[in-house]
Chains A and B, each alone.
Chain A
Amino acid sequence: MTISIRHFGHWDRPMVGIHMAADGGARPRARFLLCRPLGQEAVRSSAVFRVAGERLSREGVESLRFDYHGTGDSPGDEGAQSLDDWVRDTLAAHEQLLGEGASGGEPPVHWFGMGLGAVIALRAALLAKHPPRHLVLWEPVFNGPGYLQALIAGHKAELAMMFAQPWEQIAASGKVAEPTLPGDVLGFHFGERLVADLCALPDLNVLPALRRGLRITCAVRGDQPHPLAAHAGLSALKLHTVEHPTDWMSSQAMGTAIAPPDIPRVLLATLD
């Protein structure tokens, strides 16, 4: 299994990615672009992306996972980003992946996006000159304001766990301050542009992408009605119930890498 590093992106938005070739040096049967979620969720899901890349490689699939500009290991100011910026980053990563390898009989390209990364991927798929064939949306953010509320709640829950006291007690002790947006929440700086984007984020709509000819798999937790259930009859849309629900905003399982096995399984199913 060969990993190598890719430095790519527009000159003012450099990014770092990890490329995994198909195992054994064979010509890949497909390519997968892996789009991370944001902030604490990206940290907590890092094992998911490594394990998915390794599994895909063993199955003859090449992959590229990357950090959007201003996040993870990529350069950039975390607080100066917007959703549109990251959509463009995703398109740049897609171009990078398309440019890998030899020409002639190009293998199909699929995308996997998790959390906010799924929303970004869905938007980017509408703009891509050569769109992906299949889009896997894993626990996508369905509603921007709801996501912002979840971040605030996650921040309080995380610090309550860290200090082993209810939020009200640690707030009263002066150890923590009430989180605000824009601002530092759950360890990451959410700047004005990003917060404005999230406040205005409409409900997730997969129909334009389906009309563009993409196949979509959307995975959500079983403890909520599937927001896309009304479209369940569409042949190009597959709904999946997450088998191992995980709170990606919490470090509760500190010391334990979590990589739910149904993620690589669903990714491999797209190859059929």
Chain B
Amino acid sequence: MQEQTRTVGAEGHLVATFTPAQGAPGAAPPVVAVLSNSGVIPRGGPHRINVLLAREFAAMGIPSVRFDMSGLGDSQRSDSTRSVTEQWVADTREVMDAAQAQFGCARFVMVGLCSGAIIGHLVALEDPRMRAVLLWDMYAYPTLQSRLRKLAFKIGRAGLLGSAQKAGVMLLRKLRLMPPDDAPAKPKGEMSVSPPKDEFMGRVDRLTNQGVELLFAYCGGQPEWFNHRGQFAAMFAGQAWLPKVSFELLETTDHLITSGPAKRAFIDMTTGWVRERVVPGAGRHS
């Protein structure tokens, strides 16, 4: 397997690594996998998961490209005046152009990790070549049960006494018998804010109507945010698209896919979904 790293894009400022598929040289691949940053983590992915995925995809006969969006990893900032989100969507499409020229395939699947998931689904809304997106730890919306579980988790973590003390402080602050918490609120970036639920559901409706495969996948390490298997169906209850999308919860995997077993679980989930929903029949070359 001969990987090739080069600069791509109209400005030549994006660094991308192309991994060809193993076996059947010259044959057009069924799809090209797109791998990118998770937050500010470089194109190798959290704990090198994108490198491992690229090798796994290659063995399945699927080439891939992993790249750094503008200003991340090795890629330089763009000269454009676009917003960060617009720029990263444009970057992804430019990399898809380069991958299409390299591999001769105009069908793409993106493994979107965290912020990459946001970019992946926005690209799919703009570009019909994006046929499938894995959405890792993307938006979640609270439900009654998730709120109760979050409360139970917090009590379990702090203990009854600690929880009672925290509740007391909150009450005293509310009654203005204690000075307010003057710690500055953490600034939220463009990527950290979930859109209104109706808006997001509308986007998913559009994508599924266009035949885009979506896998909503969540880690088990966000108990204050997405904390039980039933939360997915509950937060999107009644949506016509719900049966059309896939869902997974990896309970022993953390957000950054740190441990060896977590990596294996993530890779198995991803390749299993690709075989089942994106490229039925994709195998594994020895």
Contact = CB atoms under 8 A, between A and B. Distances in A.
A163 B40 contact: no
Interface stretch (B140-148, B165-173, B216-224, B276-284): B216-224
Nearest to B188: A255
A186 B76 contact: no
B42 A184 contact: no
Nearest to A253: B40
Given A7-B4, A257-B72, 15 more contacts: A5-B15, A7-B5, A16-B17, A18-B74, A46-B41, A46-B74, A65-B74, A72-B42, A72-B48, A73-B43, A158-B256, A159-B254, A184-B259, A184-B263, A254-B256
B204 interface: no
B256 A162 contact: yes
Contact of A176 (B7, B17, B259): B259
Q: Which 9 A-B pairs have the closest CB atoms?
A: A187-B47, A162-B254, A184-B260, A257-B40, A162-B221, A163-B221, A46-B42, A255-B39, A175-B252
A220 to B, nearest CB: 25
A183 interface: yes
Given A3-B74, A5-B15, A169-B157, A255 B192 contact: yes
B: interface residue count bin: 35 or more
A78 B263 CA distance: 14
A43 interface: yes
A103 interface: no
A106 B222 CA distance: 54
B255 interface: yes
Interface of B: 1, 3-7, 13, 15, 17, 39-44, 46-48, 51, 66, 72-74, 76, 115, 153, 157, 189, 191-192, 220-224, 251-252, 254-261, 263
Interface of B is mostly: loop
A54 interface: yes
Contact of B261 (A75, A162, A166, A177): A177
Interface string A243-259: 00000000100111100
Given A164-B221, A164-B223, A187 B256 contact: yes
Nearest to B45: A43
A187 B74 contact: no
Given A188-B48, A189-B260, A163 B76 contact: no
Contacts of A188: 47-48
